[in-house]
Amino acid sequence: MFLQKGFRTAAFGLYGFLRFTKSGFEDNAKRFKAEDMEIQMTGKNCMVTGANSGIGYATAEGLASRGATVYMVCRNKEKGEAALSEIKTKTGNPNVHLEICDLSSTSEIKSFTSRFSSSERPLHVLVNNAGLLEHHRVTTADGLELNFAVNVVATYAMTQLFLPLLEQAAPDARVITVSSGGMYTQDLTDNLQFSEPKFDGTVQYARNKRIQVALTEKWAELYSHKGIGFYSMHPGWSETPGVAKSLPGLSKRLSGNLRTIEQGADTILWLALQPKEKLTSGAFYFDRAETTKHLPLSGTRHSPAVMDAILKNLQALIFSRE
C-alpha cells in the first residue's frame, strides 16, 4: 500500500507537470475551435458558487459576457459585491446577481436553495466551483470536518436541492462540478471525516475531489431520464488566491507556469456552452476533452458498494436534518 501511494504521487507529479501547467494548456489549445466559445447564452440562468475570485470569478464573467443571467453565490458579502460590480462593468450585462450563502453550513444551504427555488426560475447551468483546502482540522457548527463540508456536502446539497429547477430547464440543463487533478492520488473512501489520528488537509482535499467525480458518475446514472447533464472537470494548476494560500510551495515552484484564471475556467465555460449531444454525462473533462479518471496502475478504481455507502451518508446529512 505504501509503495502504491508513493507511485501514485510520483505519477501524478509527472503527469501534472506535463499537462496541468500553462504550457500544457497552450499545447492543448492548438486543437481548440474558436467557434465553440462563440455561442451566446441570452435567456439562460446560470449559478456559480465561489464566484467572487479565481476560477469562479472568471466563470461568472465568461457567462455574463455571453448574455447569461448569472447568480454569483458567495460567502463574503463585501467581496461578493466588489466582484459583482466589476463583472457588470466589464461585461455590460445588468443581469448579474449576488447571492450570499456560507456553503459550510447545511442550514444556510437549505435556506438559500428554498428561497431561490420559490421564484420557480429554471436553472440551466449550476457550476459547483466553491472549494476549500484547510490544512488544520476544523469542525463546523454541524459537526462536520470543514473541507468535507464545503467540497462534498455543499456540492451534493446544492445539486440535489436544485434538481427541480434544473428539470425545468431540461433538456438543456447541466451541472458542472470543478474537481482537481489531486483526486488522481486517492481512491474512493467512506472515511468521510478523516478519522486518522494525524489530519492531512491535502489528502482530505484530494479524497473530496475523488468523491466529486464519483458523485458526477452517480448523478448521471440516477437521473439520466431527467434531461440534465452532469460533468466533472479539472481546471489545471491555476494562479488563484486559493492556490497561493493553500499550496504556497506549488505556487512558488511553478511561478510563471501556472495557468491564468481564464485558462482555468476555459473548460467550465466550454461545457456550459456546448450542445449536450457533444458531451458525455458522467464524464470527467480536461482542456475541452473527456479524459481518464484514473492513472495507470494507480489502484484508484472502486467498487459500487463504496459509492453507495457515501451516498447514503450524504443523504442522511442533508435530508435527515430537517
Which residues are catalytically annotated?
Answer: 205
Please check whether residue 238 is in contact with residue 260, taking contact to mean a CB–CB distance below 8 angstroms. Answer: yes
Distances (CA, A) of 221 to 153, 182, 230: 19, 24, 9
Q: How many CB atoms lie within 10 A of CB 147?
A: 27
Distance of CA 176 to the CA centre of its chain: 7
> Which long-range CB contacts under 8 A does 202-208 form with residues at least 24 apart?
202/133, 202/135, 202/247, 204/145, 204/147, 204/148, 205/131, 205/132, 205/133, 205/147, 205/151, 205/180, 205/246, 206/180, 206/182, 207/183, 208/147, 208/148, 208/151, 208/152
* Cell numbers given for 196: 486518522
* Cell numbers given for 66: 455571453
